[in-house]
Amino acid sequence: MLLKITQNPHRRTTLFFLPTVRKYFSTSSQAAVDLASKDGEMRIFLVAGEVSGDAIGSRLIAALKKLSPYPIRVGGVGGSMMAKQGLKSLFPMEDIAVMGIWELLPHLKKLKVRLKETVEAAISFRPHVVVTIDSKGFSFRLLKQLKARYCQQGPTAPLHFHYVAPSFWAWKGGEERLNGLSEFVDHVLCILPFEEQVCISHGLPATFVGHPVLEDILELNLVTTEKGGKVQGNADLFRSEHGISSGSTIFTLLPGSRLQEVTRMLPIYSKTINLIKNSVKDPTIVIHVAPNQHVENYIKKAVNEWAVPVVLVPGGSSHTKYDAFSASTVALCTSGTVAVELQLARLPCVVAYRAHFLTEWVIRYKAKIPYISLPNILLNSPVIPEALFCECTPTRLSSFLMELMQNDGVREEQIFAAEKAFEKGRYRMGKIGLVCLTTLLIYSVLILETEAAAAAAACDPTDPNCVITPSRKKPRIVEGTKDDKYAERAKADDTPEIVIVGH
């Protein structure tokens, strides 16, 4: 399969996808515009404020290193996964991993200090691109302050990208709040298909790049069944490595990635397990621990008092995570990205969530959709049982879990709905390799926007021969067989596109 980005008739980057040898490598047939001609490198300042953002950031850095014809240097804030890609975080990511409304109050002073430190560090780093990942409260304040500091620099100011659009669709008046974002956000990378057009209609440039969780597909074993594709882990290996008998019933628990979530949810999960432990054969609990030292310490101490065997799975390894999913009978998770991961593994689950009672009151008043998990939102149906707020009790959770284990019809309905959710989100798992499309789209958006800025900075406006025509056309995907039609169209059309042939 050949994947090709065509930026214009004179500049082309070709990417070959060799699944049995390597993910991909990049070569340039002609010299491209030097994105940082004065420095000989591309500097990208990234900020992630939670574990899911850390995973996105690490994949983005890895992709840019492989795709960019120029050395990549990164700075900013991130966690352990971004650190593996070379980021030296300004401070522990956990310092800004705070979610909620009233939960923020005790952390406001620290957040203010960290925000100031991040702004100063970004200015000193002199980035060509700033990418903030989710965590919109911190991210938007950062971008707004940076835009104010750079306002005197004109075209030499870095471009601001925000990865993961704010969930405007979930809140009353959410769309109207998009109107002012274009003042300090240059481009939004959307993970849901319907977000792109809504952002654009409110004057905010946006590109749908797909859900980053689906990048697990190329790293893992994708199998096709009569119910569609799924990520298949090695259940036997997981049981063997952790000394779990073949007849044991495994419950997977995912209490969250932030300390405030885990301290609120894990005691509820513990009571839930106590209610059902005598109703199943040889129960074993598998708890997935986020790569957060505070979370890890809390969970290790808490499970010492549990009356059932517990296996702790450290975060960071997709293989181990999906091996555990494949070995499990059912999962209980705190609302978040993990619901999509469980659907990839086709593991039936229950979604739970609790917050400060005042935060819950505000959510009830402001929310305009009845669901909290993405699969249910996409399908507009409670296919995945949700126990939220005051309904999130051990009794209710244990009832949901027992029904999923004992009722084959309910299990099958959730497994079948997973395929429908991916279709609804326009996500396809197959020969094309969605990871390539995601990284290519992100790369093309970053490169095209940054090339325009670099060209403007290098051009002398007093020179009559200097004409800046930055490309703002969105990349489009063209699929087909390997023939001359696509080559001829690429030569004749300067619209950025990704051409997928030979699949």
The owner of tokens 């129960």 is 283
Asked if the model's pLDDT at residue 482 lies above 80, the reply is: no
> Among residues 193, 190, 200, which one has the least CA distance to residue 166?
190
Residue 179, both tokens: 């109107």
Helix (DSSP H) and strand (DSSP E) numbers for the chain: 17, 19
Residue 263, both tokens: 């301290």
Rounded distance between C-alpha atoms, residue 414 and residue 435, angstroms = 25
Residue 466, both tokens: 């200097």
Q: Are 350 and 269 in contact (CB under 8 A)?
A: no
* More confident call, 443 vs 257: 257
Q: Which pLDDT score, from 0 to 100, does residue 193 have?
A: 82
17-31, 138-152, 177-191, 407-421: lowest mean pLDDT where? Answer: 17-31
3-state SS string over 284-328? EEEEEECCCHHHHHHHHHHHHHCCCCEEEEECCCHHHHHHHHHHC
Q: Map residue 325 onto helix, strand or coil.
A: helix
What is the average per-residue pLDDT within 243-253? 95
Among 224-238, 263-277, 479-493, the range with the most confident prediction by mean pLDDT is 263-277
Assign 12 a pLDDT band (cuts: 50, 70, 90): very low
pLDDT, the chain, mean: 78
The owner of tokens 């469980």 is 342
Asked if the model's pLDDT at residue 501 lies above 80, the reply is: no
19-28, 325-334, 342-351: lowest mean pLDDT where? Answer: 19-28
| pLDDT digits 0-9 by tens, 399-424 | 999 999 999 999 999 988 888 887 76
Q: Are 137 and 164 in contact (CB under 8 A)?
A: no
Rounded distance between C-alpha atoms, residue 350 and residue 20, angstroms = 36
Residue 468, both tokens: 């800046």
Asked if the model's pLDDT at residue 357 lies above 70, the reply is: yes
**DSSP per residue, 8-41:** ETTEEEEEEEETTTEEEEEEESSPPP-TTTTTTS
Asked if the model's pLDDT at residue 389 lies above 50, the reply is: yes
* More confident call, 415 vs 217: 415
Strands (E), 99-158: 129-133
Rounded distance between C-alpha atoms, residue 111 and residue 109, angstroms = 5
What is the average per-residue pLDDT within 3-30? 29
Domains of the chain: 35-214+430-481 (3.40.50.2000), 221-424 (3.40.50.2000)
| pLDDT digits 0-9 by tens, 160-176 | 899 999 888 888 888 88
Q: Are 334 and 353 in contact (CB under 8 A)?
A: yes
* More confident call, 147 vs 456: 147
Among 47-61, 126-140, 178-192, 239-253, the range with the most confident prediction by mean pLDDT is 239-253
Give the predicted TM-score (pTM) of the model: 0.77
Residue 359, both tokens: 């935060």
Assign 503 a pLDDT band (cuts: 50, 70, 90): very low
- What is Dmax (Cα atoms) for the chain? 83
* More confident call, 266 vs 496: 266
Q: Are 80 and 188 in contact (CB under 8 A)?
A: no
Q: Which pLDDT score, from 0 to 100, does residue 171 have?
A: 81
Rounded distance between C-alpha atoms, residue 309 and residue 282, angstroms = 9
Q: Burial level of 170, CB count in 10 A (0-12/13-18/19+)?
A: middle
64-68, 153-157, 196-200, 376-380: lowest mean pLDDT where? Answer: 153-157
| pLDDT digits 0-9 by tens, 441-467 | 555 555 545 554 444 444 454 554 444
Q: Are 460 and 440 in contact (CB under 8 A)?
A: no
What is the average per-residue pLDDT within 134-141? 92
Q: Which pLDDT score, from 0 to 100, does residue 374 have?
A: 87
